[in-house]
A and B are shown apart, each in its own frame.
Chain A
C-alpha cells in the first residue's frame, strides 16, 4: 500500500514553476516542441521549462505531464464505496488496490470509508470486478456510476499565497 499523506511543509515552487502549473494544468500545446511553446508564452527558455518541470516532478508536485482520459468514453467506469470495519481497513484496501481496474482508491472520514474508481472495457467487466471484491471481502460495495457530468475539469486556480 502506497501512502502519500500530506506533508507538513508544502513545496515552495519557483515563479516559473508556479506559472507553469497555473497556465498548463488544462492544456499543453499540441505542437512538436510543446515545452518551447510554453517557454515562449512565459518568457523563459525551453531548457528552463524542462528543468522546472523536472524539478516539480522530482518534488512530487507534478504527478505527470500527460494524457487524462475521459470517463466512460473508452470502456466503462464507476465510483464504488465500502463501509469497512476499522480493523479490516488495511487488508481490504490492499485487496482492492491490487486490482489493475482500480484507480483513485481513497480513505475517507465516513462510515463509507473506502472510495475507489473501477474502470474496465465494459459495464459487465466493471460489475464482475465489484462482485469479486464483494465475494473476497464479504462486504457489500456501493456502485455509483456517473449519470451526468456537470463539471469534469480537474484544473483549478491554485491562488498562490
Chain B
C-alpha cells in the first residue's frame, strides 16, 4: 500500500507537522518534493485508510483526564459483534476492540478505553457499559493506567 515516497512522508511527519504557515510545503522542501504532491499523497493515504487521522493530538493527562481505564469484558461470542458496536458508539469510549481470549490467564474478549476526570466518573461510565452488555457479559475487570512509560504514536521505521 505504501510506496517509498509515501513512507518518507509518513516518517517525516509522524513526530508532528511544523507549526509554520505552510507546514506541508515545508515538509515537502525538507524531502525534496513538490508541496502539491505531499498534500495529494496525504489525502490519498487518508482515503485508503493507511492514515487514521491528521489532527491535533492532545495529552489527556495534562488536560485533567487522570482516570484513564482499560475496561475489559468477557462477552458471549455470538453477541460480541452486535454489543461491541453499541459500546463503541458510546461517546465516552475512545477505542473499542475485540481481541482473543488467552485462557486461563485472560478471559476477556472485548476492550473499551474510557477516559474520565476522576475514578468516580470513570466508574459510572463503566457501569453504563455493564448495563448495555447485560447478561451476555460473564465477567469483567478494569485496569487503570498509573504511568505512561513510553508513548510516541504508532511508528514507521525509517528503512524498508
Decide whether A and B assemble into one complex: yes
Chain B residues touching A, majority SS: mixed
Say which residue of B62, B147, B152 sits within 8 Å of A11 (CB atoms). B62
Residue interface bits B128-160, CB-to-A below 8 A is 1, else 0: 000000000000010111111111111111001
How far, in angstroms, from A46 to B20 measured CA to CA in the complex?
10
49-75 of chain A: CB within 8 A of chain B = 50, 53-54, 56-57, 59-71, 73-75
How far, in angstroms, from A95 to B74 measured CA to CA in the complex?
31
Residue interface bits A30-53, CB-to-B below 8 A is 1, else 0: 111111100000000010001001
Whether the pair A110, B143 counts as a contact (CB closer than 8 A) is: yes
41-90 of chain B: CB within 8 A of chain A = 42-43, 46, 49-59, 61-64, 66, 70, 81, 84-85, 87-89
Whether the pair A106, B98 counts as a contact (CB closer than 8 A) is: no
Which B residues are within 8 Å of any A CB, using their own CB? 1-2, 10, 13-17, 19-25, 35, 39, 42-43, 46, 49-59, 61-64, 66, 70, 81, 84-85, 87-89, 91-100, 102, 105-106, 111, 115, 141, 143-157, 160
How far, in angstroms, from A143 to B22 measured CA to CA in the complex?
42
Supposing A6-B66, A115-B70, A156-B91 touch, asked if A65 and B16 sit within 8 A by C-beta, the answer is yes
Q: Which residue of A lies closest to B93 (CB)?
A: A151
Chain A interface residue count, Cβ-Cβ cutoff 8 angstroms: 87
